[in-house]
Amino acid sequence: MPQLIKNRAVVDDRWTLLREAAGLSDLAADTAQIVPLAFWLAHRDALKARGDIGVWLAPIDDPATLAADVGALPVIAVDFPSFTDGRGYSIGRMLRDHHGFTGELRAVGDILRDQLFALAECGFDAFLIRADKDAAAALAGLDDFDRIYASTSRRPQPWFRQRGQASGGGPSGTTS
């Protein structure tokens, strides 16, 4: 069963996540792979030349480390070791907002349905749902809200900059 959500659908995953890689010989020659940040930094030139290598960041990794590489990376993954560890949300936003990363931003690790809306707002566009969960059911999490108030990576204009232009800005009819 595929576990990857992308473009609002459960799709086959062409990428392999390498949690660890010691040397270049650990890489398969004909597979697209996502490698640890340290490995990328150690072998950057060789890996860049392949074109089918992405990088994953741990919560302690500084996204600025990839500032010069964002144009060369088709995929950056951010690891959430536990869904209650929220560092990856900020990492995602910094990759998108500060470093201009436009490739696939993938959430991996303890990724569950109830995180998907927030992850998408923070710039993630691919979600590798935890293996024991139903990815098709998780899709609904993307639509928990239409949108929220704050400025986000997906929608930099906060709601207060659009409120006046939107229809439906009138009183809700509830009482208080």
Partner 1 sequence: MYRYDNFDATLVNRRVAQYRDQTQRFLRGELTEDEFRPLRLENGLYIQKHAPMLRIAIPYGLLSSTQLRMLARISREYDRGYGHFTTRQNIQFNWPRLEDVPDILALLATVEMHSIQTSGNCVRNTTADPFAGVAVDEIIDPRPWAELVRQWSTVHPEFAFLPRKFKIAVTGATADRTAALVHDIGAQAVRGEDGEIGFRVMVGGGQGRTPMIAHVIREFLPAAEILNYFDAILRVYNLHGRRDNKFKARIKIIVKEMTPAVFARQVEAEWERLRGGPGTVPPEEIVRLAGFFTDPPYRDFARDSVAYRAAIADSRPFSRWADRNVRKHKRRGYAVVTLSLKQTGTPPGDVTALQMEAIADLADQYSFGEVRVTHEQNLVLADVLQNDVHRLWGRLKALGFATPNIGLLTDIVCCPGGDFCSLANAKSIPIAEAIQRRFEDLDYLYDLGDLELNMSGCMNACGHHHVGNIGILGVDKNGEEWYQISVGGAQGNDASLGKVIGPSFAAADVPDVIVRLVDVYVENRHEDERFIETVRRIGIVPFKERVYAAAH
In the complex, the smallest distance separating the C-beta of residue 94 from partner 1, rounded to whole angstroms, is 8
Return the half-sphere exposure (C-beta side, CA atoms, 13 A cut-off) of residue 152.
17
Segment (H or E) for 105:
strand 104-109
Q: Sign of the C-alpha dihedral, residues 127, 132, 135, 141? A: negative
Instruction: Determine if 1 is a binding residue for partner 1 (CB under 8 A).
Output: no
Whose Cβ is closer to partner 1: residue 15's or residue 117's? 117
Which position has the token pair 């030139």?
Answer: 45
| Residues in region 64-123 near partner 1 by CB under 8 A | 83-87, 89-91, 93-94, 97-98, 112, 114, 117-122
Which one-letter DSSP state was computed for residue 110? S
CA distance linking residue 105 with residue 35, whole number of Å: 14
The one segment of 14-22, 42-50, 70-78, 143-151 that binds partner 1 by CB under 8 A? 143-151
Using CB under 8 A as the criterion, which residues of the chain lie in contact with partner 1 when the complex forms? 83-87, 89-91, 93-94, 97-98, 112, 114, 117-122, 144-146, 148-152, 156-161, 163-164, 166, 168-172, 174-176
